[in-house]
Structure 1
Amino acid sequence: MDQHIIIIAVVILALSFDFINGFHDTANSIATAISTKALKPAYAIMLAASMNLIGALTFTGVAKTVGGKVANPANIEHGVYVVAAALIAAIAWNLFTWYYGIPSSSSHALIGSLAGAVIAAAGISAVNLAGFLSIVESLILSPLLAFTVGYIIMSLIRLIFANFSPHKINSRFRSLQVLTAAFQSFSHGTNDAQKTMGIITFALVAGGYQSTVEVQTWVKVSAAVAMALGTSVGGWRIIKTIGTKIIKFEPASGFAADLSSALVIISATLFKLPVSTTHVISSAIMGVGSAKRFSSVQWGTAVTMVSAWIITLPVTMVLAGFTFIIVRFLFL
């Protein structure tokens, strides 16, 4: 197949992944505000879409990490086809988990798929093991940090406002939730949209269209717009799981969950580390619920979610590997 055609196909696939990521993941950032009635669904989605767009246009460090740390795209033969296979696998897994309302990780899916496709194409030695493991470490440690931060912030709120009337607390924190929902959506854009920018840049380097992992302006803008459009569609299945099936939300707990996860995500962005916003947000919610009462967390839902998190990396690696074999058979 002509190199120009396949690179166009990869860009379309990448932006499709970003669009799907928008309604799959960004729902997480507004679920708590909708659950506590701090925002009406239509307003919440518009807020999330606009703040995601701004966040996505603000940073590029995570994009460079994704574009160069898993493997060196310049050293991968048929690298553009590798990216195509990775994106097909990641999109398939995202749609599967979205359909069943499981808030799995688009980040795990993308990183796992890229590694699996690289291994199928060039062997395990082609994977930059140190870089890959550093990404996996950030994906594993960030939920633990989010749980801890959520627990601490909710504990402080309970301590500081112990003598306030529930009506006054709910009224104040419902207003504050609008701000934290915006912050949450902004932080999501700073991290998740960059993964698509990174994968497109990987393909451009592998195809010989550029020599460094610097993110071109058109890549940055198109990825930001694709995610914002996906957000505007709304991921209602995931909103239901996040907003109702982990803990019973009140405005104070929604505020604590939003603030905790946003702080962890924006910190990871500043350190140029890709994290799973789904994992971070869900873990922050669990931490907040545990601070209120350990039994208030619906741990059955939590176990289902964690199980999906655990299997995503290996499943997408295998899926991407088989996808590359099929792509190679058909086009190479």
Structure 2
Amino acid sequence: MLKEGEMGGFTLLVVVVLILAAEFVNGWTDAPNAIVTVVTTKAVKPKTAVAIAVVGNMIGAFYGRAVAQTIGTEIIKPEAINLVTLGAALLAIVIWSTAASCFGIPTSESHALLAGLAGAALATAGPAAWLPAGWKKIFAGLVISVLFGAGGGFGLGWVLKTFSASWPKEKSNRVFQVLQVLAAGGMAVSHGSNDGQKFIGIFTLSMVLAGFLPGFQVQPWIIILCSLVMGVGTSVGGWRIIEKVGVKMVKLEPDQGLAAQTAAAASILFASSFGIPLSTTHTINTALMGAGATRGISAVNWGIVKELACAWLFTFPACGLIGYLTAWLLIRF
């Protein structure tokens, strides 16, 4: 572990600012995950959708401590790193996610955080700082986000389509739009329960590394502060991402929007209950693809899917490299 004097000028205050900045960016760029379907299917007005996302995200942040515990103690050895590691990882998130959002590309802040941590820890403590058991959970989260998201979206979409086939179009749209609002709330809560908890875990870890906490114990005030900042970020909204995913990638009918949101929310809450960090971005987007595919493969714009997939694939190496180089520079200068 690096000595206090080797922290490259990083103070706890700087790291906390970076944590809150990353939490804000997470709320800003992940707002579409909760509200994309209710906006594009016109179930509610955009401002109402954002309000649902803000409240749901803040509530979800209080859902257990399992994900925060995983991020703070099971991915990287806490005793092998310091505030430089955290600062470098967080900087990678802010840089990558902000740049991607400017192009309307929904990237995974979860993968950005994990990659940034891995890269920064490699620079400050070497590969021995990585904890294999925790990374198995990361892999499990990847499987859940893709398979459960796409499979659940397609399966539930097919059921709803079949069930409502004999209904008048106007009636089915009205029923599904009402249910979509409830599903949007559930999606927002699930997002807060996973993504919100990740940064709560990092915040708590920073308090431990700085000596303000004797051990990893999530404090209520940390949850409140992080949930408020995420709520503010969510209120900004990522409208370019909504257009990219909910309009250009696949045009949704209300029943498909309901299927995608329900499948994604259930998958994320399931993972959160077991302390499995996953990408909420990947989960909802694959659920949207699955639900959209119930109208046929051609209903999904696979060109946009390819563009998103490339961004997702580049997130890990890019953020890992940014985290590594930032930490490497800080400990030397």
**Common topology (TM > 0.5):** yes
CA distance in 1 between counterparts of 2:242 and 2:313 reads 21
Report whether the alignment pairs 1:273 with 2:262: no
- The 8 Å contact of residues 137 and 277 in structure 2, kept in 1 or not, is answered as no
Q: 1:66 aligns with which of 71, 75, 79?
A: 71
- The 8 Å contact of residues 28 and 238 in structure 1, kept in 2 or not, is answered as no
CA distance in 1 between counterparts of 2:97 and 2:195 reads 14
Please tell me the residue identity of whatever aligns with 2:178.
S
CA distance in 1 between counterparts of 2:244 and 2:312 reads 15
Query: 1:29-40 residue pairs with structure 2 within 5 A?
Result: 29-40=34-45
Structure 2, unaligned stretches of length 5 or more? none
Q: 1:90 aligns with which of 66, 90, 93?
A: 93
Report whether the alignment pairs 1:291 with 2:294: yes
Query: 1:51-130 residue pairs with structure 2 within 5 A?
Result: 51-76=56-81, 79-130=82-133
CA distance in 1 between counterparts of 2:117 and 2:136 reads 13
Query: 1:227-238 residue pairs with structure 2 within 5 A?
Result: 227-238=230-241
Report whether the alignment pairs 1:26 with 2:22: no
Report whether the alignment pairs 1:145 with 2:148: yes
RMSD: 1.6
CA distance in 2 between counterparts of 1:140 and 1:322 reads 29
Structure 1, unaligned stretches of length 5 or more? none
1:5 deviation in Å?
6.8
1:106-160 CA distance string (max 9 Å, x none): 0000011011100111111111123123213313432221100111101111221
Please tell me the residue identity of whatever aligns with 2:42.
K
1:299-326 CA distance string (max 9 Å, x none): 1111111111112112111110001012
Corresponding position of 1:210: 213
CA distance in 2 between counterparts of 1:145 and 1:211 reads 38
CA distance in 1 between counterparts of 2:166 and 2:220 reads 52
- The 8 Å contact of residues 26 and 188 in structure 1, kept in 2 or not, is answered as no
1:202 deviation in Å?
2.0
Please tell me the residue identity of whatever aligns with 1:51.
G
1:53-105 CA distance string (max 9 Å, x none): 111123221011000111121232xx111101111111101111111111110
- The 8 Å contact of residues 144 and 267 in structure 2, kept in 1 or not, is answered as no
Of 79-88 and 213-222, deviating more is: 213-222
- The 8 Å contact of residues 75 and 206 in structure 1, kept in 2 or not, is answered as no
CA distance in 1 between counterparts of 2:185 and 2:151 reads 22
Structure 2 SS opposite 1:245: helix
Structure 1 SS opposite 2:11: helix
Corresponding position of 2:317: 314
Please tell me the residue identity of whatever aligns with 1:10.
V
Q: 1:167 aligns with which of 167, 170, 178?
A: 170
CA distance in 1 between counterparts of 2:139 and 2:212 reads 28
- The 8 Å contact of residues 74 and 205 in structure 1, kept in 2 or not, is answered as no
CA distance in 2 between counterparts of 1:62 and 1:211 reads 20
- The 8 Å contact of residues 28 and 234 in structure 2, kept in 1 or not, is answered as yes
1:18-72 CA distance string (max 9 Å, x none): 0110010122210110101101011111111011111112322101100011112
Report whether the alignment pairs 1:9 with 2:48: no
Please tell me the residue identity of whatever aligns with 1:316.
C
Corresponding position of 1:182: 185
Change (3 A) 1:94 1:71: same
